[in-house]
């Protein structure tokens, strides 16, 4: 068990990971993120192992919630990025927190894994079914949020959309995903912002406006809170 985040990248040795008493098979060329204080151990190992562990601190790890308990396939691009990180570290790149190029590389890799995770089948424990009798509440919220990320996504507005009071919506959402609707919206907006920034096709201002995060200064502040980095390297 660690007090930091640990990114486990499997380059070629399949194994079973027991994570908080959950059995998770991790195949070759998959990655899995361990969150702080998650208990984990390994079984069904072959030797020698071909794994890479990247350990890091984040002030706010909520934007990584899409990766919780979910092995994510590693494309050739992510494998190459991970090997570059390893080569840089092995070549003597400083490991201190202020060594920004290494931090930027790790942040970019995490952003790409989050993007890949959003394309996986919706089995994440972070996205449970909240039954309301008219389909699942969270699926309805997701549809509304993603349809207009730049729009009014206040709790009152979302509550009207799903036909309940704001207080009841807060209660249901917090009970199931351990955060309020406002925090959930911010995480989705940050996830989308990181995806757009990683594509390197839009300015920071354009990304901020598209994702409902105000201007560049607001996006930069939110980005630092969630990742400990600035958005410019993405």
- Give me the domain span that covers residue 11: 5-118
What is residue 154's predicted lDDT score, i.e. its pLDDT? 94
Cβ neighbours of residue 162 closer than 8 Å, sequence gap 6 or more: 132, 137, 140, 141, 144, 169
The CA angle 101-102-108, to the nearest 5 degrees, is: 90
- Are residues 95 and 69 part of one domain? yes
- Tokens of residue 113, six digits: 């894994």
What is residue 4's predicted lDDT score, i.e. its pLDDT? 80
What is residue 21's predicted lDDT score, i.e. its pLDDT? 66
What is residue 135's predicted lDDT score, i.e. its pLDDT? 43
- Are residues 87 and 57 part of one domain? yes
Exposure pattern of 198-215 as b/e (b: 16+ CB <10 Å)?
A: beeeeebeebbbebbbee
In the chain, the number of structural domains is 2
Listed as ranges, residues in the chain with pLDDT below 50 are 1, 123-135
The CA angle 120-123-129, to the nearest 5 degrees, is: 130
What is the CATH number for 233? 1.10.10.60
pLDDT in tens, 115-144: 888 777 654 333 334 444 444 777 788 888
* Residue finishing a domain among 91, 118, 145: 118
- Are residues 167 and 195 part of one domain? yes
pLDDT in tens, 44-70: 666 677 888 998 887 666 778 888 888
What is residue 3's predicted lDDT score, i.e. its pLDDT? 64
- Are residues 113 and 16 part of one domain? yes
What is residue 95's predicted lDDT score, i.e. its pLDDT? 52
What is residue 230's predicted lDDT score, i.e. its pLDDT? 72
- Are residues 154 and 64 part of one domain? no
What is the CATH number for 34? 2.60.120.280
- Are residues 139 and 71 part of one domain? no
């Amino acid at each position: 068990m660690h007090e930091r985040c640990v990114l486990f990248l499997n380059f070629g040795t399949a194994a079973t990971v027991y994570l908080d008493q959950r059995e998770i098979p991790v195949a070759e060329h998959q990655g899995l993120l361990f969150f702080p204080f998650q208990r984990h151990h390994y079984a069904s190992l072959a030797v020698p192992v071909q794994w890479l562990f990247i350990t890091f601190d984040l002030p706010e790890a909520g934007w990584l919630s899409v990766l919780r308990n979910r092995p994510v396939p590693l494309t050739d691009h992510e494998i190459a990025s991970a090997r570059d990180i390893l080569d840089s570290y092995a070549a003597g790149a400083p490991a201190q927190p202020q060594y920004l190029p290494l931090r930027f590389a790790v942040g970019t890799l995490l952003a790409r894994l989050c993007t890949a995770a959003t394309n996986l089948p919706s089995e994440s424990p972070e996205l449970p079914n909240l039954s309301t009798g008219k389909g699942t509440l969270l699926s309805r919220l997701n549809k509304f949020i993603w349809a207009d990320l730049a729009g009014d996504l206040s709790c009152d507005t979302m509550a009207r959309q799903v036909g309940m009071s704001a207080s009841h919506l807060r209660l249901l959402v917090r009970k199931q995903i351990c955060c309020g609707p406002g925090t959930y919206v911010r995480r989705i907006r940050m996830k989308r912002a990181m995806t757009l920034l990683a594509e390197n096709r839009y300015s920071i201002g354009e990304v901020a406006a598209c994702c409902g995060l105000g201007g560049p200064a607001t996006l930069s502040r939110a980005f630092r809170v969630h990742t400990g980095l600035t958005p410019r390297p993405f």
